[in-house]
Structure 1
Amino acid sequence: MTRVNLDRRQIAAGLAAALAAPFAPCLGLSPALAQTSRGTWSELTRLAEEAQRLGLSVPRMGLAPSSGGDDFSEIQPALVDFMDGVSASAPDAPGATSADVDSLIDRASELLRTSRNAERVPRDIPEGPQATAVTAPKFEDIAASYRQLFDTCVIRPEKRSEVMWYVSKIADPTRRKAYEQVFEETCVPWYVVAIIHGMECSFDMNSHLHNGDSIKAKTKQVPAGRPNPWLPPSDWVSSAVDALKYDKLHEQADWSLPRILYRWEGYNGWRSRLLYKINTPYLWSFSNHYTKGKFVADNVWDSNAVSKQCGAAVMLKGLVEGGHIATPA
């Protein structure tokens, strides 16, 4: 297969084209979500204008968001590409101080965090009066089904461009260098680290791998108080290493395809599979193996809600199809 080489500045210039145009009506969204989305685009417009005044490169603008219904699908790449553009162009912008650049990235990172937390709920931890406890299936009982699902996984045609955006972030040289540093300290394959980063942090290097909280302090969400000790702003790699060690991934020797998918599904929770009898969107969203159904709040299941985040197994499929890795054994 042909390997796709993507330059960070080309990526940043080619995506997120919605920032300067008037925000399109949020058809199909609740008033509260529509207001949140409008506020995000307005703030991102202001950030883009500020960056341009400082001589920093930001994605080209001109198109309004294509549909209010897929707000996270549009907001996430816009914010990530904005941060990438600012970071990549900072050395060539003498009018922008390091404090200017940090401020822009920090504000964009917080917008991204807010949008991501509105799209996904924390880990599926069965606690509280509405929760139903489940027992994880044995790995040996479902390993073969993981291979069958991956072999027959097809990226939905209407989602292929979005999946390729995820792949481009995983393959980004700067991010890959960080992922490989984590691998050197934990023996967790770099692409496994990358995909967890995409799921939990939207590829934001200013967020803890544990749960997407800001790297400027210890984590507040589950698991709270990590890393310990932590002297912010420490580097992303050391936080990521702590996250993987906290979940004991550094102790795992088996990184076969079924084991990878089993660990990812266990990380997010088993109730989609065991209680609602669907392939979890955490793995299979954007593919033929998932249509609808997700938790929309702690212990609140909506059978008609559709995940707007690419599944981990689908990112892995995109990496294989793009020639970036071979299919894990």
Structure 2
Amino acid sequence: MDRRTVLKNIALLSFAVTTCRVSPAFASPTVDQLSDINAKIIAIEARATDLRIPQIEGLPNIVSNVALSPDTWYREAAARLLGLMQRALEANQPDVISEAADLLVQITDIERSPSEYFLASRAKAPAFLSIKRSYGDLFDKCKIAPEYKATIGWYTNLIKRNKQRYDEVSEQTQIPWHFIAVIHGLESSFNFQTHLHNGDRLTTRTTHVPAGRPKSGQPPFTWKDSAVDALVLMKYVDRKDWTLERTLYRLEGYNGWGYRSKKININTPYLWSFSNHYSTGKYVKDGKYVSSTVSQQCGAAVLLKALTLSGDVSW
């Protein structure tokens, strides 16, 4: 082996070690956390059964006493909690909603990729025109991975069931309802009890970045008022260009451009997770990339693809 090859191999090894040096708690729940999440979900499901909260066709229903799989824990937990919350909402059971919402915040904090949008240190955005065509090409060729079709099916059912709430924010901000919906999914796991900014609970002002929002009004905040504040803060209000390409550019920019770096260079899971355009690799903490970690959140572009195929969104 010549000297150049040796140096190249050392460089590759160094990169692998650097990118994988991360606390496991940020990548997945600890054994104790997963056990606690399991117990809480089963307890909330048992309470819903005792209250005879009816099931809803097309949404996840009670799966009592079934433990979460360590490999798919977030997808399973989010499905069960969101199903519980929607059913409790329509059955007027606010205590069940609150319990499930608190637990959904906990699991979202573990799984969600941190957004760079409000950070001064965020990576510089590439020029829109330099990557515009790639968005259209990727979207046209996007195929939902077979193992995720059922999950995406109930995601889109949930989105459509709550479309009126997204429409109300859209009317006030002139931002397309579907953009608001997918941001809600990625940042809050579709939890209407949390701030759109970052998934913090509506019972107080935001405590994570951006902290102290909304600045006006008093908690608890309505989801609509907080969502409008977040979109104003993002400077998306009254923008005129909402083509497919511009929409995907803004979505990727909200989460950050780190996946486009020369060392990583993969399609961002924030857009393409659950599709043929993504397999593995994820930022689990600001500046910490783990090549072996697989996102358990459905990408925003993939959600938009599903809504486009169903005829609910057109471009």
Interval of TM-score (by shorter of Structure 1 and Structure 2): 0.7 to 0.9
Residue identity matched to 1:261: L
Residue identity matched to 1:155: I
> Map of 1:125-204 to 2, 5 A cutoff?
134-172=123-161, 175-204=162-191
Aligned to 2:3: none
Structure 1 stretch displaced more, 178-187 or 59-68 = 59-68
Aligned to 2:37: 40
Aligned to 2:75: 73
Aligned residues: 284
Deviation of residue 53 (structure 1)? Answer: 2.8
| Alignment partner of 1:283 out of 243, 246, 271 | 271
Deviation of residue 65 (structure 1)? Answer: 4.6
Deviation of residue 279 (structure 1)? Answer: 0.5
Please give the alpha-carbon distance, in whole angstroms, between the structure 2 residues aligned to 1:31 and 1:149. Answer: 29
Q: TM-score, normalised by structure 2?
A: 0.84
Please give the alpha-carbon distance, in whole angstroms, between the structure 2 residues aligned to 1:127 and 1:227. Answer: 17
Runs of 4+ that moved beyond 4 A: 125-128
Residue identity matched to 2:313: I
Structure 1 unaligned blocks of 5 or more: 1-29, 91-100
Q: Does 1:54 align with 2:43?
A: no
Please give the alpha-carbon distance, in whole angstroms, between the structure 2 residues aligned to 1:303 and 1:157. Answer: 23
> Map of 1:268-307 to 2, 5 A cutoff?
268-275=255-262, 276-307=264-295
Aligned to 1:13: none
* SS of aligned partner of 2:91: helix
Whether the 8 Å CA contact 1:126–1:299 is kept in 2: the answer is: no
Whether the 8 Å CA contact 1:182–1:190 is kept in 2: the answer is: yes
Structure 1 stretch displaced more, 297-306 or 230-239 = 230-239
Aligned to 1:207: 194
Deviation of residue 280 (structure 1)? Answer: 0.4
Residue identity matched to 1:53: D
Whether the 8 Å CA contact 2:88–2:97 is kept in 1: the answer is: yes
Whether the 8 Å CA contact 1:79–1:112 is kept in 2: the answer is: yes
CA pair 187-293 structure 1, distance change in 2 beyond 3 A:
same
Aligned to 1:25: none
Structure 1 stretch displaced more, 184-193 or 296-305 = 296-305
| Alignment partner of 1:235 out of 222, 232, 239 | 222
Aligned to 2:245: 258
* SS of aligned partner of 1:69: coil
| Alignment partner of 2:112 out of 103, 114, 120 | 120
Deviation of residue 32 (structure 1)? Answer: 5.5
Residue identity matched to 2:97: I
Residue identity matched to 1:74: E
Aligned to 2:86: 84
Whether the 8 Å CA contact 2:205–2:212 is kept in 1: the answer is: yes
CA pair 286-32 structure 1, distance change in 2 beyond 3 A:
closer
* SS of aligned partner of 1:249: coil
Deviation of residue 63 (structure 1)? Answer: 7.0
| Alignment partner of 2:97 out of 85, 96, 105 | 105
* SS of aligned partner of 2:289: strand
* SS of aligned partner of 1:248: coil
Deviation of residue 102 (structure 1)? Answer: 2.6
Deviation of residue 231 (structure 1)? Answer: 1.7
Q: Deviations over 1:205-250 (max 9, x none)?
A: 1011111110111111111111111322232111111110110110
CA pair 31-270 structure 1, distance change in 2 beyond 3 A:
closer
Please give the alpha-carbon distance, in whole angstroms, between the structure 2 residues aligned to 1:103 and 1:257. Answer: 39
Residue identity matched to 1:114: Q
Please give the alpha-carbon distance, in whole angstroms, between the structure 2 residues aligned to 1:148 and 1:171. Answer: 26
Deviation of residue 125 (structure 1)? Answer: 6.4
Q: Deviations over 1:37-59 (max 9, x none)?
A: 22112112212222333343363
Residue identity matched to 1:270: W
Please give the alpha-carbon distance, in whole angstroms, between the structure 2 residues aligned to 1:235 and 1:221. Answer: 18
Aligned to 2:7: none
CA pair 178-127 structure 1, distance change in 2 beyond 3 A:
closer
Taking only the aligned residue pairs, the percentage that are identical comes to 39
RMSD: 2.2
Q: Does 1:310 align with 2:312?
A: no
Please give the alpha-carbon distance, in whole angstroms, between the structure 2 residues aligned to 1:125 and 1:267. Answer: 5
